[in-house]
Amino acid sequence: MRTDDVAFYADCAMHARGPVLELGCGTGRILIASAAAGATVAGLDLSPLMLDACRRKIAKLPAEIAKRIELVEDDMRSFKLGRRFALITIPFRAFCHLINVDDQLACLRRVREHLDDEGELVFDVFQPRLDMLIDPRASDEVEDTPESALGDGRTVRRTARRAQIRQAEQTMQVEFNYYIKSANGQVERLTESFPFRYYFRYELEHLLARAGLRVAALYGWYDRSPVSEQPRDLIFTARRA
């Protein structure tokens, strides 16, 4: 599991002038780090299972950190929280789960309505490499997360592959395979598959503009280095236009 984005988002949250909203907070990997850095954070996610896992983590935190976290089960395309935020984040490529333009614009317009006058949106997507999109080996299964203990005597490791790339739709079918090994060596394989949208830089700039937002900064990695010819991620900071 990647960790290079955690410090970046926690730093953004720590320096926000007010409350923070994280869309697609999942099990709290970034949410909890942001609260630990001193931010007051609301985490929104559509998955009750993810939020339950996040609650279990929060229950183990010191009270002074846990009290700064709020969880909301809602859809990033249609949420209405009735308040505004100094910072809204969409980390860990969660925006890539929005496949069509209507959903993308719906999310960005909801963000705009929930930003205060000087508020910022920060989100990341991966920067597509054209050579990989046409690579015949693109569907090969590759190691994604090394084997680790589960705490009950079993271990788990994860692999990933792009099961299908639809260039006309700018989507790929991502497949995660979990290999769970019991103490006696028996291995069980569980598979999770979902569509993922890839974006290009200026496409996102136009989407932001259509939603009433403007680009304030653009980075190519979490050290705030510029976008380069070696594609990694696209990290946008945007404000109300």
The domain ranges of the chain are 4-127+199-240, 130-196
Contact between 36 and 65 (Cβ < 8 Å): yes
Same fold, 4-127+199-240 and 130-196: no
- pTM greater than 0.75 (yes/no): yes
CATH homologous superfamily for 130-196?
Answer: S-adenosyl-L-methionine-dependent methyltransferases (2.20.25.110)
Residue type, 117: D
Closest CA to 21 of 74, 60, 65: 74
What pLDDT digit, counting tens, does each position of 185-201 carry? 999 999 999 999 999 99
pLDDT band at 134 (very low <50, low <70, confident <90, very high): confident
Tell me which of 3.40.50.150, 3.40.190.80, 3.40.50.300, 3.40.50.1220 is the CATH number of domain 4-127+199-240: 3.40.50.150
Quote the mean pLDDT of the chain. Answer: 95
In angstroms, the CA 124 to CA 11 distance is 15
Looking at 3-7, 34-38, 195-199, which range is the least confident one? 3-7
With 80 as the cut, is the pLDDT of residue 137 above it?
no
Percent of the chain with pLDDT over 70: 99
pLDDT of residue 1: 61
Contact between 104 and 210 (Cβ < 8 Å): no
Please state the rounded mean pLDDT for residues 66-71. Answer: 98
With 80 as the cut, is the pLDDT of residue 135 above it?
no
Contact between 197 and 171 (Cβ < 8 Å): yes
With 70 as the cut, is the pLDDT of residue 157 above it?
yes
